[in-house]
């Protein structure tokens, strides 16, 4: 009888641990919760975690630290970025990029913004924040760069016809 009474609490702890762990299958639920909070956050996450570079070529190269991850991507007024001091650099697979950003959004504030810490020895800081589009330094001060380019690598063809 003692064995049986000791078994049930252990079983309950094991079940609780498995239901709170993050699995790639949970990405759908996190993404849906995120979309209900703020669809713009899902757009920023999709753009950041995309496996294509600015020229549309296949590129699964999200590294931390790295220029792409630290600069982040701004889409619809939301910046998704990953900063950190990982040594050596750590590669972030696309499925975990989506899962972890969607989790941050789903558990974040009312607008889906927030931060999370991941990676070996918590060397990665994942951030979803309000932002303005990435604009080149000095040119951005004069408003140059906001016209003609919608988002990073996307051409705004509607402005080319203006004269």
Give the pLDDT of residue 11.
38
Query: CB of 68 within 8 A of CB of 61?
Result: yes
77 sits in the region (left: phi over 0; alpha: psi -120 to 50; else beta) called: left
Q: Where are the beta strands (DSSP E) in 24-105?
A: 63-64, 73-75, 78-84, 90-91
Give the pLDDT of residue 77.
94
Give the pLDDT of residue 158.
38
Give the pLDDT of residue 18.
32
User: What is the sign, positive or negative, of the torsion defined by CA atoms of 62, 66, 69, 73?
Assistant: negative
Cβ atoms < 10 Å from Cβ of 75: 23
Give the pLDDT of residue 68.
85
Give the pLDDT of residue 9.
43
Give the pLDDT of residue 163.
35
Give the pLDDT of residue 115.
97
Task: Give the C-alpha separation, 96 to 34, whole Å.
Answer: 16
Residue by residue, pLDDT tens for the chain (163 residues) are 455 455 444 433 333 333 334 665 788 899 999 999 999 999 999 999 987 766 666 667 789 999 889 999 999 999 999 999 999 999 998 889 999 999 999 999 999 999 999 999 999 999 999 987 656 666 555 655 544 444 444 433 333 333 3
Give the pLDDT of residue 46.
94
């Amino acid at each position: 009888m003692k064995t049986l009474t000791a078994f049930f609490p252990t079983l309950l702890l094991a079940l609780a641990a498995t239901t709170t762990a993050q699995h790639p299958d949970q990405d759908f639920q996190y993404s849906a919760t995120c979309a209900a909070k703020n669809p713009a956050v899902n757009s920023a996450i999709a753009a950041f975690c995309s496996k294509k570079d600015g020229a549309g070529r296949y590129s699964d190269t999200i590294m931390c630290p790295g220029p792409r991850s630290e600069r982040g991507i701004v889409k619809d007024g939301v910046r998704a970025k990953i900063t950190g001091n990982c040594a050596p650099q750590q590669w972030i697979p696309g499925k975990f990029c989506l899962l972890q950003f969607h989790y941050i959004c789903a558990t974040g504030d009312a607008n889906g913004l927030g931060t999370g810490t991941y990676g070996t020895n918590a060397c990665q800081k994942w951030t979803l924040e309000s932002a303005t589009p990435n604009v080149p330094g000095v040119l951005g001060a004069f408003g140059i760069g906001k016209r003609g380019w919608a988002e990073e690598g996307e051409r705004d063809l509607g402005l080319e016809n203006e004269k």
